Amino acid sequence: MKHYTLIGHPLGHSMSPFIHQRLFAMAGKEAEYTLTEISPEELNGKEEFLRSQNGFNITIPHKMAVISMVDEMDESALRYTSVNCVDNKNGKLIGYNTDCDGFTMSVKDYPMDGKVLQIGCGGVGRMIATEAIRSGADLTIGIIPPDKEMVEQFIAEIQDNYPGAKIRYLLNEELQGKFDVIINTSPVGMFPHMDACPVSDALIAQADYFFDVIYNPTKTLMLRKAEALGKTVCGGAAMLVLQAVRAHEIWDGDTYTKEQVDSIIQEMEAEMERHNTKV
């Protein structure tokens, strides 16, 4: 039997075992997927254990620290200096970033080459903004005042790496007008603060496509408001499942139909709702 794990600290209630076990079952594979809590000071001492795994995933705070352990970096990991998936190929550890795949696969039917508004610019926000620019987006990033210096530095890096990139930032209270796509990468609206919305009703009314990285709740207030107006919406559960699908493609060459992936997203959302009722 093959062995896989997720490392991070703290892990808390992770949906990763649920998702990966369903993917292994759908592929007809016998494999174990566990959670391994590792504090930052313990990471270097766990290399032998990690090399004993057939593959592993990485979450906060180890996505950069684990780079020193891998033998080779895929282009996706080099692009973000961040590794969230490692494949053990006959003793050689190869680092990947499948978060970006999870996002791009989630919005593959969105007009990402149009006018895009992104709220927030943290770690996942910088990755999503980069993928939006790579797709040809005319990108506006909405921020809070404390993030001004950080986002200015990020935009300078984007313009260095992607000459001609259309990118700017505004404070959230300054945002107005029509956008084709609105993306929330901030924690606004996350459980248990589900009555918060990162954008105004006026912005929601004028946009057509919405994506929220938050997967708990499965539909944030922003998505519920947009859906009530007949807009196209997608929550973070899709991104989480699709980055896991990409990991299975890397580890074992497994492929899945859209129907299979959609069924896991629905199961995950139902599991998340059950968990919330117990909290």
Sign of CA dihedral 44, 48, 51, 57: negative
Whole-number pLDDT of residue 277: 60
Q: What is the CATH number of domain 2-97+238-278?
A: 3.40.50.10860
Residue 70 confidence (pLDDT): 97
- The full DSSP string for 120-163 is --SHHHHHHHHHHHHTT-EEEEEE-GGGHHHHHHHHHHHHHHST
- The pTM is what? 0.92
CATH architecture for residues 101-234: 3-Layer(aba) Sandwich (3.40)
Give the percent of the chain with pLDDT over 70.
Answer: 99
Q: Which amino acid appears at position 255 of this protein?
A: T
pLDDT under 70 in the chain at which residues?
277-279
Question: What pLDDT, on the 0 to 100 scale, is given for residue 224?
Answer: 98
Q: What is the model's pLDDT at position 278?
A: 57
pLDDT at 13: 77
Question: Would you please indicate which residues are annotated as catalytic (active-site) residues?
Answer: 63
Give the pair of three-digit tokens for residue 224.
């519920």
Task: List where CATH 3.40.50.10860 sits in the chain.
Answer: 2-97+238-278
Distances 74 to 49, 96, 260 between C-alpha atoms, Å: 22, 5, 27
Contact 205, 229 (CB under 8 A): yes
